[in-house]
Chains A and B, each alone.
Chain A
Amino acid sequence: DAGVIQSPRHEVTEMGQEVTLRCKPISGHNSLFWYRQTMMRGLELLIYFNNNVPIDDSGMPEDRFSAKMPNASFSTLKIQPSEPRDSAVYFCASSFLAGPTDTQYFGPGTRLTVL
């Protein structure tokens, strides 16, 4: 299994531009999580999906952030418009939930720099 795949691995953009991060979860997993990691705030859960349905988006910082999961094998996190404070590493993780919270498998992350 290739594991969780994220693209791009690095993204440098200018303030005001739209940024789209992509994630392919592990085949067969039914839950997908988007996290943001910064030195100041650590690892924050932004949103998670179960069976392609958004369950909890309370961690999404503001309306500039949106996430979709059109099918079981693909998800996007979009920032529009981007701001310098959005600079961070964004991780996607997936898991197979059959009961209480179980192991999550993380992708390599996308390092976003907004100038």
Chain B
Amino acid sequence: SQQGEEDPQALSIQEGENATMNCSYKTSINNLQWYRQNSGRGLVHLILIRSNEREKHSGRLRVTLDTSKKSSSLLITASRAADTASYFCATDASNTDKLIFGTGTRLQVFP
């Protein structure tokens, strides 16, 4: 079964608006990562947040992590049409080198 589940499955917004995607996971983790996938392309790493961190920023991206709720959120501020993509969270399965990817959120940003 999936370790991570994203919510919502799909999100449509206008350029300039903020987009928030959520990820819930099941077991304890060392870190959580967010990846973006443009249509027809491979996944691209966006940001990694470690289990002892609560919030992290990278440009227009803000990631939060709540280990007590086993959840994370990705906020994209001032969205652009180029942000249109699928976004996946990924967690490491305990004591392994594997990443378990969630089901993804499809974000559509309209100009």
Q: Which residues of A come within 8 Å of B, CB atoms?
A: 4, 31, 33, 42-43, 45, 48, 50, 55-56, 91, 93, 97, 100-109
Question: With A50-B97, A101-B92, A104-B99 as given contacts, are A109 and B41 in contact (CB-CB < 8 Å)?
Answer: yes
Counting contact residues on chain B (CB < 8 A from A), the size range is: 20 to 34
Question: What are the nearest 6 A-B pairs in CB distance?
Answer: A106-B42, A101-B92, A100-B30, A43-B101, A106-B43, A103-B45
Task: Give 12 pairs: A residue, B residue, CB < 8 Å, sorted on A.
Answer: A31-B97, A33-B99, A42-B103, A42-B104, A43-B43, A43-B88, A101-B31, A101-B98, A105-B45, A106-B42, A107-B42, A108-B42
Complex CA gap A64/B15 in Å reads 46
Question: With A50-B97, A56-B98 as given contacts, are A109 and B42 in contact (CB-CB < 8 Å)?
Answer: yes
Residues of B within 8 A of A107 (CB): 42
Chain B, interface SS category: strand
Chain A, interface SS category: strand
Residues of B within 8 A of A102 (CB): 48
Whether the Cβ atoms of B42 and A101 lie closer than 8 Å is no
